[in-house]
Homo-oligomer: A and B are copies of this chain.
Amino acid sequence: MKKTSLAIGVDIGGTNTKFGVVTKRGRILDEGAIKTSEYETVESFIEALHENLMPIIEKHQSRQEIKGIGIGAPNGNFYTGSIENAPNLHWKGIVPLTKLIEDKFKIPAVINNDANAAAIGEQTFGAGKGMQDFIMITLGTGVGSGIVVNGKILYGNHALAGELGHTIIRHNGRKHWSTGLRGTLESYCSATGIALTAKKMLKKEDAPESLLSQYTLKDIDSKAVYDCAMKGDELAKNVYAFTGKVLGEALANFTMFSSPDAIILFGGVTKAGDLLLKPTKESMESHLLDTFKNRVKLIFSELKEADAAILGASALVWEIKENL
């Protein structure tokens, strides 16, 4: 009997690295995790990954073929196979990750940045199935994006395309805490941006009746905003209304660039559901040229957040096979 094929998905985040053995149809057969931040050098990280991942690889290898290891990582470069100057990782400069993994595991490896991995995951297993053109926006601590054009990830020169979180949506607007750029999408629509908006609104509006007033300013994070909004707090709901307004305007711009079938939103911030989706959709439609109106689907990811990163990373393996 011919062996069926499996892929390994490895999602490297600033804090945790999750990994799993995944079928071609997106079922996670086994999974595990290690703490990324505990490893000062990439060599010690690879060592620990090998130690934790090999047992589950070996468990499946006897009956099924392991096609490759797909890695999603911040600043992972598909072209070079490296992680390049990732601000949130200990390993500085250019880290030739796929080479290090292949040398250690003797299994073909492929890397992509986390947002592209999420987009490929969505295309392979989720809401992007069968779509030729879509944009994936990840709304988490930061704002990431993966752009699919003609059924393929848009890489551009040096595989740098798709940094939509850093595009400017408010001229001379809020200064980004890390890039220093003003008025970028990330500084408004990330979890960090949402907390900032809440603090600014609280200061400005003097709203003692708001549940958010019960927090000290430094304790206000996106979770606090979410919790208060879910309890019906007006100010917290206004934070989402404002966030959606800004996000929708940016999505209109992106639509007029690549004319996608859909824009798929993903990440912790989307938990707010309609509180975010409604104002985003309204703002997007109102900023679109007539030809585009009501043509672009605005939807949430169909993948469970806990699984999505591993699924996306594993999907890179099938992607590379098809390109060979």
The residues of A with any CB-CB pair to B shorter than 8 Å are 85, 132-133, 147, 149-150, 152, 154-164, 166-171, 179, 181, 249, 252-254, 256-261, 287, 289-292, 295-296
Contacts and interface: CB of A to CB of B under 8 A. Distances in A.
8 contacts: A158-B295, A160-B259, A161-B259, A163-B291, A167-B252, A167-B253, A170-B171, A179-B289
A249 B168 contact: yes
Contacts of A256: 163-164, 166-167
Contacts of A154: 149, 258
A85 to B, nearest CB: 8
Nearest to A290: B179
B147 A181 contact: no
A155 B161 CA distance: 17
Given A160-B292, A179-B289, A289-B163, A254 B257 contact: yes
Q: Which 10 A-B pairs have the closest CB atoms?
A: A156-B259, A161-B259, A160-B259, A163-B256, A167-B253, A166-B289, A157-B259, A156-B258, A157-B261, A133-B156
Copy count, this protein chain: 2
A161 B257 contact: yes
A158 B259 contact: yes
B258 A289 contact: no
Contact of A295 (B157, B181, B249, B291): B157
B160 A156 contact: no
The prevalent SS among residues of A at the interface is loop
A79 to B, nearest CB: 11
A261 B70 CA distance: 28
Contacts of A292: 160, 163
A58 to B, nearest CB: 39
A236 to B, nearest CB: 23
Contacts of A258: 147, 154, 156, 161, 257
Nearest to A135: B257
A258 B171 CA distance: 21
A132 B168 CA distance: 25
Nearest to A165: B256
Nearest to A257: B257
A149 B160 contact: no
A167 B257 contact: yes
A37 B132 CA distance: 38
Contacts of A287: 168, 181
Q: Which of A85, A160, A291 has the most CB of B within 10 A?
A: A160
Given A147-B257, A164-B257, A157 B169 contact: no
Nearest to A169: B171
